[in-house]
Amino acid sequence: MKLIPDGSTVLDMGCGTGFWGWYIKSNRRNCSIIGIDGFEDYTHFCRSLGVYCAVHDNDIINYHSDFKYDYVLLLDVLEHLKTDDGIKLISYLKVISNNIILATPDGFIKNDAVDGNKLNIHLSGWSKKMLSNLGFSTSVYDPYPKLFRPFVRLYNYLRGRSGVRELIGVWRKV
């Protein structure tokens, strides 16, 4: 998260269990971080971490803010939305922020509910071309160390998943 300087305002959309909020708070000074998630168990947990200025239970597709953020994090969120809803959300986030950082699997990967959270089900797959068409500079990376990749691929194959690569996208208002 070297892209986020000290003192930034950050909106963590789909904050989940709060890992990125915690990471930013631990590695950057004076950042104000707001978390949004639609799963009440996660927002309750994030509040208990004490790293967010506020955590809201919200449907992220219909989220509205009068505040402008320096950065919006959309990390492992897009794949949980229908494609049209993801595009709608990105369009709105471009209005309330100068920078969007996103991560999503490269293509569609089947995923079921986790921890009773039906919002964890994957509804769409995204490609480098799709994100580029939305104005993102995008790179592809494999998040697993080389030694573990064959095991991860086998595990995903047995679960009906196709890939392990992630797309990382950055959009900046010019």
| Segment 65-74, tens digit of pLDDT | 999 999 999 9
Chain position carrying tokens 């229908």: 82
DSSP secondary structure string for all residues of 79-120: GGS-HHHHHHHHHHHHHHBSEEEEEEEBB------BTTBGGG
pLDDT of residue 144: 61
pLDDT of residue 19: 93
Tell the CATH topology of 9-172.
Answer: Rossmann fold (3.40.50)
Q: What is the pLDDT of residues 83-137, one digit of tens each?
A: 999 999 999 999 999 999 999 988 888 778 877 889 889 999 999 999 999 999 9
Phi/psi of residue 38, nearest 5 degrees: -95, 0
3-class secondary-structure state, position 34: strand
CA dihedral sign, ordered 20, 43, 48, 113: negative
Domain ranges of the chain: 9-172
Residue 14 has pLDDT above 80, yes or no: yes
